[in-house]
Amino acid sequence: MRIAIAVLGAILFAVSLSHLANAQAQIGVPGIGQVTIGQPPPAPPPSYGQAPPPYDRRAEHCEHLRYREHELRQQVAYMPYGQERARAEEELRYVHEAREQCWQR
């Protein structure tokens, strides 16, 4: 009986600590908003007279390819076998190869 009570107490203690750990994972910073501990802070906005950071078209293209690959994978997973699925798989291979090229540049 004592062992069961000790185990139950240990479980309740562990659960309460996990809630505290989750509560400490995000903090509010005045002027910035919510900041998650463990991630780098957001970049400060450019000050007056400075140009904004350069627009990176390649990064946007690679992000689009990542999104398209994910979307095609989900479609192919639920498609019945046939011409449409073969066409979608071919497009998925093409998008995957193009996305691999993003990392080689």
Question: Which sign does the torsion angle of CA 11, 17, 23, 35 carry?
Answer: negative
Give the model's pLDDT for residue 41. 63
CB atoms within 10 A of CB 66: 13
Angle, in degrees to the nearest 10, between helices 83-104 and 57-78: 150
The tokens of 31 are what?
């002027």
Give the model's pLDDT for residue 3. 85
Give the model's pLDDT for residue 47. 74
Give the model's pLDDT for residue 34. 59
For residue 88, give the nearest of 69, 65, 62, 61 by alpha carbon: 69
Q: Where are the domains of the chain?
A: 56-105
In tens, the pLDDT along 6-59 reads 776 777 776 665 555 544 455 555 666 655 555 566 777 767 777 766 767 888
